[in-house]
Amino acid sequence: MNQRLYIDVHVVQTVPPANLNRDDQGNPKEAVYGGVRRSRISSQAWKRATRQHFDAQAPEPERATRTKRITNELATRIETNTSGVNHDDARRIAAAMLAQLGLSQGKKAGDTAYLLFYGNAQLDNVAALVQNQAVDLAALDDKALVEALKELPVAKTFTTGHPTGVALFGRMVADIPKLNVDAAVQVAHALSTHETQLEFDYFTAVDDQNEKDETGAGMIGTIGFNSATLYRYATVGFAQLTDNLGGDTEAALEALDHFVDSFALSTPTGYQNAFAHRTRPSLVAVVVRTDQPVNLVSAFEEPVAAEAGIQANSARRLAEEHITATQIWGDAPLYNAASHTFTTSEPRTKDTAETLTQAFGAPVTFADLRTTLRARITTALGAQA
């Protein structure tokens, strides 16, 4: 397989007043880019939102979990699968099984020192290793228990059968390299295409049980917020994704489809109840490249002016940057397509719609974009075979 096959996903999305991803002061995260302050949503926040979106649509065994409480999760499975073993015995067995991995222990008993990312089916398979002997193992003292379990392929079970989340986003365990999985996805921090200003919502809450002669609020506070048109970017290395899924091309195509869908439609949930900030993108463009991933954020180094119609002009700027980069560097993509909400029938979006067509071809529905992306990659892989 050609190792240079990358799928870039470019998104322009407008978000109303919101605080999707807060900093250590509780305010929306920001960054200076092009000499002005921008709204910023961290890559970690959008990766988690993406993972939760596709996990919510998958059966339980196909989901992934990231937790420090893996010992308790494994113990619960052992207890559920084996009659005659109580939870305390199951925890002893689970701790002894995981001890062979050499996981650093956290401050709280039974917790690891860091979050471990694993597939639920992988943990089910680890629990199944002792299903037929758990009762006998529970009768052993701690030293004999560790000895009895030392040959079980616990580590090997965690290195195969990766779920979509682990295959896409990888797993880093600094002190146990054999558990590491190289990420197939890179996600950029989302940035506003224009300058933003931090604002504050001063709110009060009235006590419903106030007496008639009582005045004033039962609680007061402030929440920082801003609003922004965001440029979001991610790229998928298809060869790495296929390798993470055991060389299964069909599984990799399915994982890619889930990622494109969930990255485009997910949203971090910070202060969601306070701001109801969920929106759909105004533009989703995919570009399949055979040279390297290309982030087009340079389109917005000069901030889009507020009076220019930020959403439409951000999409137009992105399309122009893609056209210019292709012409200058001569690295025409293998394939590109876009779904967007801009039409030539409206004067305010006519130029944007025409430029987007020049850059990415005639617009397609989001469902068709996903279908044609999969078909084009399948064709490219067939040509490489």
Per-residue pLDDT reduced to its tens digit, 162-205: 999 999 999 998 878 889 999 999 999 999 999 999 999 888 78
Mean predicted lDDT score pLDDT of the chain: 92
Lowest mean pLDDT across 122-126, 131-135, 286-290: 131-135
- Specify if 1 maps to a domain: no
Average pLDDT over residues 248-276: 95
Q: What is the b/e burial string over 65-95, where b = at least 16 CB atoms within 10 angstroms of the residue's CB?
A: bbebbbbbbbbbbbbebbeebeeebbbbbbb
Nearest-5° Cα angle at 21, 19 to 25: 80
Domain count, the chain: 2
Q: Residue 4's pLDDT is what? A: 83
Query: Are both 124 and 253 inside the same structural domain?
Result: no
- Specify if 90 maps to a domain: yes
- Specify if 362 maps to a domain: yes
221, containing H or E segment? strand 219-237
- Specify if 176 maps to a domain: no
**Of the residues 130, 162, 194, the one at which a domain ends:** 162
Tell me if residue 165 falls in helix, strand or coil.
Answer: helix
- Specify if 174 maps to a domain: no
> Any idea what DSSP says for residue 103?
P
Q: Residue 157's pLDDT is what? A: 94
Query: Are both 117 and 190 inside the same structural domain?
Result: no
- Specify if 177 maps to a domain: no
Domain that holds residue 296: 6-61+182-384
**Of the residues 106, 131, 162, the one at which a domain ends:** 162
Per-residue pLDDT reduced to its tens digit, 289-319: 999 999 999 999 999 998 778 999 999 999 9
Query: Are both 193 and 125 inside the same structural domain?
Result: no
Cβ within 8 Å of residue 280, ≥6 positions away? 13, 265
Query: Are both 225 and 142 inside the same structural domain?
Result: no
Share of the chain above pLDDT 90, in %: 76
Lowest mean pLDDT across 91-95, 106-110, 259-263, 344-348: 106-110
What is d(CA 252, CA 143) in angstroms, rounded to the nearest whole number?
Answer: 43
**Of the residues 113, 132, 162, the one at which a domain ends:** 162
Cα distances (angstroms) measured from residue 109 to each of 86, 106, 257: 18, 7, 40
- Specify if 175 maps to a domain: no
Query: Are both 53 and 126 inside the same structural domain?
Result: no
Long-range contact list for 358-365, CB < 8 A, 24+ apart?
A: 358/319, 358/323, 359/285, 359/318, 359/319, 359/320, 359/322, 359/323, 360/285, 360/287, 360/319, 360/322, 360/336, 361/336, 361/337, 363/338, 363/339, 364/337, 364/338, 364/339, 365/339
- Specify if 80 maps to a domain: yes
Q: 12 forms bridges with which residues in the sheet?
A: 231, 283
Cα distances (angstroms) measured from residue 226 to each of 28, 229, 249, 275: 7, 10, 42, 11
Residue with tokens 């012409």: 327
Query: Are both 110 and 211 inside the same structural domain?
Result: no
| pLDDT of 2 over the 60 cut | no
Q: What is the b/e burial string over 168-205, where b = at least 16 CB atoms within 10 angstroms of the residue's CB?
A: bbbbbbeebeebebebbbbbbbbbbbbbbeeeeeeeee
What is d(CA 180, CA 203) in angstroms, rounded to the nearest whole number?
Answer: 46
Per-residue pLDDT reduced to its tens digit, 325-356: 999 998 889 999 999 999 999 988 999 999 99
Query: Are both 253 and 360 inside the same structural domain?
Result: yes
Q: Residue 204's pLDDT is what? A: 79
Query: Are both 252 and 268 inside the same structural domain?
Result: yes
Query: Are both 204 and 304 inside the same structural domain?
Result: yes
Query: Are both 133 and 208 inside the same structural domain?
Result: no
| pLDDT of 248 over the 70 cut | yes
Q: Residue 220's pLDDT is what? A: 85
Q: Residue 3's pLDDT is what? A: 61
Q: Residue 111's pLDDT is what? A: 87
Query: Are both 206 and 136 inside the same structural domain?
Result: no
Question: pLDDT-derived band of residue 1, with 50, 70 and 90 as boundaries?
Answer: very low
Query: Are both 134 and 53 inside the same structural domain?
Result: no
